[in-house]
Amino acid sequence: METVNQLLDSIKDVGRDAMRGGYSRAAYSTPELELRHWFIEQAQQRGLDVETDRNGIIWAWWGKPQDGALVTGSHLDSVPGGGAFDGPLGIASALAAVDILKTRGLDSKNTGPHRSLAITVFPEEEGSRFGVACLGSRLLTGAIAVDKALNLRDVDGNTFADVARGNRLDPRRVGRDPEAIARIGDFVELHVEQGKGLGHGGPAIAVGSSILGHGRWKLSVSGQGNHAGTTLMADRADPMVAAAQIVVAVRDTAARQPDARATVGRLTPVPGGTNVIASRVDLWLDARHPDDAVTAQLISAIYGVAREIAASEGCAVTLTEESYSGTVHFDPGLSRRIGELLPGAPVLATGAGHDAGVLAGHVPSAMLFVRNPSGISHSPEEYVADEDTAAGAIALADVLEGLL
């Protein structure tokens, strides 16, 4: 069986983005479907029984599907131009951990009469295609209204319902799945660290403590579309000029709030012609803070400044919340047991959202982080040293063995 590094190496060319660099593996796009197929093959090679549930979550069972199982998983989709590890590291490590447990003499009969093990792959964790992060785990837990989810659209106008149907899911069946939730006795997600908590030297693996509250909002600035050559500067209501000032105001407002993070990572002018003054500019705001009330204040402050800027440019602006997840603390009992299984592992909070965070409100949930020396993520520069990926697979095997 391949090691975790060999498993990662075997998918290193899937979904490479020549224009952006890194990987673009949007949910249910060809590259992500190719990775789902890769995972299913790898799981079946290990004798795991694979099923895909009504929300498109893949479950690979070691032992019979049962309530209260031990579950580990992550995602295979990426942000546009993302790194090689965000998501796939958790999946490859889980496959490698099964191999390690088998070499230690555990097999499906020996995973204890009371407990099976499952590896799960959650779709649309990044929310890069339909705009809502952790869409799969939110549907599983009922954290998103089904009609809102079904009507989410990608940039080509395809609804999630269309894409689900095209991938053999029945839109009438997506949504909260109590039977599936009951099968998760404990959930552990291994993930590349996103940030520099583990730095250089010292332990390569940390145990997660909490996830920063985070949300996504859409600001739409409307002005007067017009001809770039025939419209005098004094006669313009240019939403792009307002949007540019709003982006800076987002940075300035967040910079004044300790520990706040606010980002405009995506901006779309409409219609988007070089010789056209845009009629509208949509900006997507990602804002995060440990205190949900502070995030709310931050958004209110940003919207206030945006309205002033828009008015000064003869434009108007609207704000709509697309998704929000409050700050989450992982299960203290499970995290303590994991800490006992990984002596000396530091405890780290994370500013990144994860399916483990969505599940934390429903089942005992915990995370492991594997050192990323630069801390850079959501970038082609994301990196984990081979010895640290190997250490992560062993750590996951130790944790799974201890929890079985």
Residues 6+ apart with CB under 8 A from 366: 186, 187, 188, 189, 207, 208, 330, 331, 334, 335, 338, 356
CB atoms within 10 A of CB 274: 5
Nearer to Mn ion, 216 or 236 (CB): 216
Q: What is the largest CA-CA distance in the chain?
A: 78
Q: If we measure between CA atoms, which residue out of 369, 374, 366 comes closest to residue 72?
A: 366
Binding mask 342-371 for ligand HGY (x = CB under 6 A): ----------xx------------------
Q: How far is the CB of 56 from ligand HGY (least distance, A)?
A: 17
Q: How far is the CB of 90 from Mn ion (least distance, A)?
A: 8
Nearer to ligand HGY, 129 or 280 (CB): 129
Q: Out of 25, 354, 362, 371, name the contact with Mn ion by CB under 5 A.
A: 354
Binding mask 127-146 for ligand HGY (x = CB under 6 A): ------x-------------
CB-hemisphere CA count at 13 Å for 336?
Answer: 3
Nearer to ligand HGY, 236 or 371 (CB): 371
Q: What is the dihedral of CA 81, 15, 214, 259, to 10 degrees?
A: -40
Q: By CB under 6 A, tell whether 125 contacts ligand HGY.
A: yes
Nearer to Mn ion, 209 or 245 (CB): 209
Burial of 272 (0-12, 13-18, 19+ CB in 10 A): exposed
Q: By CB under 6 A, tell whether 398 contacts ligand HGY.
A: no
Handedness of CA 107, 112, 113, 116 (dihedral sign): negative
Nearest residue to Mn ion, using CB?
Answer: 354
Residues 6+ apart with CB under 8 A from 233: none
Binding window for ligand HGY (CB under 6 A); candidates: 22-30, 112-120, 125-133, 318-326: 125-133
> What three-state secondary structure class fits 114?
coil
Nearer to Mn ion, 22 or 175 (CB): 22
> What three-state secondary structure class fits 201?
coil
> What three-state secondary structure class fits 342?
coil
For 145, the token pair is 């209204």
Q: By CB under 6 A, tell whether 124 contacts ligand HGY.
A: no
Q: By CB under 6 A, tell whether 126 contacts ligand HGY.
A: yes
Q: How far is the CB of 229 from Mn ion (least distance, A)?
A: 42
Q: By CB under 6 A, tell whether 106 contacts ligand HGY.
A: no
Nearer to ligand HGY, 62 or 85 (CB): 85
Q: By CB under 5 A, tell whether 86 contacts Mn ion.
A: yes
Say which entry of ligand HGY, Mn ion, none residue 133 contacts (CB below 5 to 8 A, set by partner kind): ligand HGY
What is the DSSP annotation of 235-287? G---HHHHHHHHHHHHHHHHHTSTT-EEEEEEEEEES--TTEE-SEEEEEEEE
Q: By CB under 6 A, tell whether 91 contacts ligand HGY.
A: no
What is the footprint of ligand HGY within residues 196-255 (CB under 6 A)? none
How far, in Å, CA of 301 to CA of 305, rounded? 6
Nearer to ligand HGY, 90 or 185 (CB): 90
Q: With CB under 5 A as the rule, give the number of residues binding Mn ion.
A: 4
Give kind and range of the element (H or E) at residue 30. helix 30-45
Single-letter code of the amino acid located at 19: M
Binding mask 136-175 for Mn ion (x = CB under 5 A): ----------------------------------------
Per CB under 5 A, residues contacting Mn ion are 86-87, 125, 354
Residues of the shown chain interacting with ligand HGY in the complex, contacts defined by CB under 6 A: 125-126, 133, 352-353
